[in-house]
């Protein structure tokens, strides 16, 4: 092993996923010399094992679910999906797990890319272990940004290291559908992958530890998803978890459940949460605990490390575990680093470009199941816990002409929460086919604090599903 002399940059970014790329893009555009260190594929989890491949698997399933109910079209789409074609599309959307395009973009943006495992080695210092066994030393004049993301968290089951379970990575990159797939987990990954593989021919058993799917969302969302999964042939079970599992010599996975039952499958997916990728990034060299989530302030600066030089951006700070939120944080962090490098005083007020307020006020998310679920802001339960007085307004989306044009048997529901004192929308949840496209309007309404009376003047086109906004406002005014 050899060690090179120290290379100096203005900014060092550890992690070349969408978050790290966006931080580096902003700092490079600000005239700061920037390097990204990446140990896997440039483009990160989202490009190869999460957002892109999962949506490629889900899109054909959801499109067929809609098309089969459209008059004049249903007979043409009732057969099984072409699994080989769907998986080939998934492979294309994942760039066949090659990062040539991402590397080309990084270079075109004037950013250096170092392949290897990067670790903090003290204040503004990073060591990089390269694939060839060399150790490179890097020093940052202004900032180091940890953009290492998160990974699937496996439950502490005895012998799990020999079980070879699926995580989100295996679930999005599998080469063929398993005949029987057990899914442990009722959150977004669990329900999306159950939807995808059931549609591709697997016999799916979905195990929910609690009483409903999507427990962090409004109850009606999980109820609609449960109904459609069961109609598609999935076995959805509640109040049950895996307490023991082993892979037999014949390859089967044999599980013991908390209710005393047993379940045999060909593969088991654990979709039971995320953990930070911070266990081996040198946190101990700056007084932090390896493996912990990294706390930051609204400028994405690590609060426990003095000197305003260390940033944690994206999943690793646990503020909001979505790719779009991580990219938003990256834009904030890039602006902060650039401003501090120029010696400017930061304005981190509520509407300042240096303040990551959207991580708490209006975090949007879409679950790409049948039906889709889209939400932003507070749920009723969260409002109650926070002591917020809200009006709850519900509407059956299937009553809209635009929804019936979408599919004649449309089933879905919309809910908005209105702050009683300020008379602005503070939460919205939509469940139904195609509702993901409603989410940005709700996000704008919440973020901009548009008065409800002013929303009356935002006229939705007829006949579209977005007309649900008019109906919600009518119900609220007439109540």
pTM to 2 decimal places: 0.95
Distances (CA, A) of 12 to 119, 288, 338, 438: 11, 19, 13, 38
CA dist 59 and 196 (Å) reads 9
pLDDT of residue 228 exceeding 90, the answer is yes
Gap between the Cα atoms of 10 and 142, Å rounded: 5
Q: Are 8 and 141 in contact (CB under 8 A)?
A: yes
Inter-axis angle of helices 323-341 and 18-29, to 10 degrees?
A: 30
Average of per-residue pLDDT across 339-347: 92
Instruction: Report the alpha-carbon distance of residue 179 to residue 203 in Å, rounded.
Output: 6
Residue 143 has pLDDT above 60, yes or no: yes
Q: Work out the average pLDDT over 275-289.
A: 98
- Residue 341, exposed/middle/buried by CB under 10 A (0-12, 13-18, 19+)? middle
- CB-based contact 102:24 (threshold 8 Å): no
**Percent of the chain predicted with pLDDT > 90:** 92
- Give the model's pLDDT for residue 478: 73
| Block residue for tokens 């490629």 | 56
How many other C-beta atoms can be found within 10 angstroms of the C-beta atom of residue 384?
12
Rounded Cα gap, residues 84 and 87, in angstroms = 5
Per-residue pLDDT for 479 more than 70?
A: no
- Provide the CATH number for the domain formed by 7-43+99-151+276-358 in this structure: 3.50.50.60
Q: What's the token pair of residue 19?
A: 């978050």
pLDDT score recorded for residue 122: 97
Contact 291, 284 (CB under 8 A): no
Q: Kindly tell me the sign of the dihedral angle through the C-alpha atoms of 210, 215, 220, 225.
A: negative
Res 255: pLDDT:
97
pLDDT at 161: 86
Q: What are phi and psi of 407, to 5 degrees?
A: -160, 135
Q: Which numeric CATH code is attached to 160-272?
A: 3.50.50.60
Using alpha carbons only, give the angle 422, 427, 430 rounded to the nearest 5 degrees.
145
Instruction: Provide the residue ranges of all domains of the chain, joining segments of one domain with +.
Output: 7-43+99-151+276-358, 160-272, 371-478
pLDDT in tens, 29-68: 999 999 999 999 999 999 999 999 999 999 999 999 999 9
Please determine, for residue 236, whether its predicted confidence score (pLDDT) is greater than 60: yes
Alpha carbons 271 and 50: distance in angstroms, whole number = 12
Q: Report the distance separating Cα 354 and Cα 55, nearest Å.
A: 32
Q: What is the mean pLDDT of residues 208-222?
A: 97
CB 417 within 8 A of CB 391: yes
Averaged pLDDT score across all residues of the chain: 96
Per-residue pLDDT tens digits for 372-431: 999 999 999 999 999 999 999 999 999 999 999 999 999 999 999 999 999 999 999 999
Q: How far apart are CA 109 and CA 120, in angstroms?
A: 25
Average pLDDT over residues 176-187: 98
**In this prediction, what percent of the chain has a pLDDT beyond 70?**
99
What SS3 state is found at 59? Answer: helix
Structure tokens, 110:
């004037």
Note whether 7-43+99-151+276-358 and 371-478 share their fold: no
Q: What is the pLDDT of residue 186?
A: 97
Residues 478 and 329: their CA atoms lie apart, in Å, by: 40
Q: How far apart are the first and last CA of the chain?
A: 74
The first and second tokens of residue 408, run together, are 């004649």
Q: What's the pLDDT score for residue 3?
A: 62
For residue 399, the 8-state DSSP code is G
Task: State the Cα–Cα distance between residues 66 and 466, nearest whole angstrom.
Answer: 18
Is 60 exceeded by the pLDDT of residue 1?
no
pLDDT at 182 over 90: yes
CA distances from 93 to 47, 171, 284 (A): 8, 15, 38
- Quote the longest CA-to-CA distance of the chain: 75
156: Cβ–Cβ under 8 A, 6 or more apart, which residues?
A: none
- 371-478, CATH topology level: Enolase-like; domain 1 (3.30.390)
Confidence (pLDDT) at 79:
87
58-79: string of b/e by CB count within 10 Å (b at 16+)? bbbbbebbbeebeeeeeeeeee
What the block records as the tokens of 99 is 């990062």
Please compute the mean of the pLDDT values over residues 79-84 and round it to a whole number. Answer: 94
**Mean pLDDT within 310-316:** 98
Of 99, 151, 144, 100, the closest CA to residue 122 belongs to: 144
Q: In 3D, which of 458, 465, 399 has the Cα closest to residue 430?
A: 465
CB-CB contact of 91 with 404 (8 Å): no
Residue 362: is it exposed, middle or buried by C-beta count within 10 angstroms (0-12/13-18/19+)?
A: buried
In the structure encoding, which two tokens stand for residue 223, read together?
Answer: 């109820």
């Amino acid at each position: 092993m050899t060690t090179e002399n120290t290379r100096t940059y203005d900014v060092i970014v550890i992690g070349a996923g969408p978050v790290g790329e966006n931080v580096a893009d902003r700092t490079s555009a600000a005239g700061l010399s920037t390097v990204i260190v990446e140990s896997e594929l440039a483009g990160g989890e989202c490009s190869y094992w999460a957002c892109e491949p999962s949506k490629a698997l889900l899109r054909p399933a959801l499109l067929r679910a809609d098309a089969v109910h459209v008059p004049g079209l249903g007979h043409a789409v009732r057969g099984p999906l072409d699994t080989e074609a769907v998986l080939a599309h998934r492979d294309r959307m994942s760039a066949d797990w090659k990062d040539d395009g991402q590397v080309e973009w990084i270079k075109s943006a004037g950013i250096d890319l170092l392949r290897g495992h990067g670790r903090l080695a003290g204040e503004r210092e990073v060591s990089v272990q390269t694939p060839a066994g060399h150790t490179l030393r890097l020093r940052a004049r202004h900032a180091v940004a940890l953009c290492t993301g998160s990974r699937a968290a496996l439950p502490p089951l005895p012998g799990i290291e020999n079980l070879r379970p699926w995580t989100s990575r295996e679930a999005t990159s599998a080469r063929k559908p398993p005949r029987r797939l057990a899914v442990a987990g009722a959150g977004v990954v669990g329900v999306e992958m159950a939807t995808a593989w059931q549609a591709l021919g697997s016999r799916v058993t979905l195990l929910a530890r609690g009483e409903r799917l999507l427990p962090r969302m409004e109850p009606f969302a999980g109820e609609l998803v449960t109904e459609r999964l069961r109609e598609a042939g999935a076995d959805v079970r509640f109040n049950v978890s895996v307490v023991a599992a082993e892979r037999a010599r014949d390859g089967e996975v044999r599980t013991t459940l908390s209710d005393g039952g047993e379940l045999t499958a060909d593969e088991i997916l654990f979709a039971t949460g995320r953990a930070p990728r911070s266990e081996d990034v040198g946190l101990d060299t700056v007084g932090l605990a390896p493996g912990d989530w990294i706390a930051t302030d609204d400028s994405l600066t690590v609060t426990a490390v003095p000197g305003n030089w260390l940033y944690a951006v994206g999943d690793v700070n646990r503020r909001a575990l979505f790719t779009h939120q991580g990219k938003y944080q990256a834009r904030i962090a890039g602006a902060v680093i650039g401003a501090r490098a120029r010696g400017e005083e930061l304005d981190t007020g509520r509407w300042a470009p240096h303040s990551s307020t959207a991580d708490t006020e209006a975090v949007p998310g879409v679950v790409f199941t049948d039906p889709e679920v889209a939400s932003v802001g507070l749920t009723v339960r969260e409002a109650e816990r926070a002591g917020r007085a809200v009006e709850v307004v519900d509407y059956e989306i299937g009553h809209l002409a635009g929804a019936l044009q979408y599919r004649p048997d449309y089933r879905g529901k919309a809910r908005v929460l209105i702050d009683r004192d300020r008379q602005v929308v503070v939460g919205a949840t939509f469940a139904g086919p195609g509702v993901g496209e409603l989410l940005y309007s709700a996000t704008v309404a919440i973020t901009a604090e548009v008065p409800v009376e002013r929303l009356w003047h935002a006229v939705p086109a007829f006949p579209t599903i977005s007309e649900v906004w008019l109906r919600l406002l009518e119900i609220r005014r007439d109540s």
